[in-house]
Amino acid sequence: MEYVSHCELTINGQKISNFKSVTEGDMEIRRPIKLMSRTVHASVTPSYIIELEYVVPVSPDREPNWKDLRNGTLTISYESGRHIIYSNVSTLKIGRAKFDGENELVRNIEFGAQKRDELGKKQGVH
């Protein structure tokens, strides 16, 4: 069994190396619909949320312009050769910055995407 030990993040061709974590949000595929005598499950159009814990650089002019990110591409590349490519990516929320006095300044950025493709080796479930 392989485990993910490293991933790289690229947004519109620009490699982002100063981040603590990337979280792929829940993916709703079906929604329960309660009827009189039973419950059915209706398919929904998927939407994708990606959350980034971004380490803010010392020089603020080196931080990407998150506000203007629209219809972009976000790629998560894993050490195993697997790639997850999100398209039509836009910034949804720029969170507050957090500094604890011991570690670096971190800002949470939330993205929304319309499409998700997976290329390369898939991690099997055993």
Helix or strand or coil: residue 81? coil
Report the pLDDT value the prediction gives residue 15, as an integer from 0 to 100. Answer: 86
Helix or strand or coil: residue 44? coil
Helix or strand or coil: residue 71? coil
Q: What is the DSSP letter of 13?
A: T
Tell me the pLDDT of the chain averaged across its residues.
86
17-57 pLDDT, tens digit per residue, is 888 888 999 888 899 999 999 999 999 988 899 999 999 88
Is 16 buried (19+), middle (13-18) or exposed (0-12) by CB count in 10 A? middle
Asked if 48 and 60 count as a contact pair (C-beta separation under 8 A), the reply is no
Structure tokens belonging to residue 27: 């993916």
Q: Which residues in 25-54 are b (16+ Cβ under 10 Å) and which e?
A: eeeeeeeeeeeeeeeeeeeeeeebbbbbeb
Mean of pLDDT values over 49-66: 86
CA–centroid distance for 105 within its chain: 20
Confidence of residue 101 (pLDDT cuts 50, 70, 90): confident
Instruction: Give the Å distances, CA to CA, from 116 to 3, 35, 50, 56, 61.
Output: 21, 32, 11, 27, 30
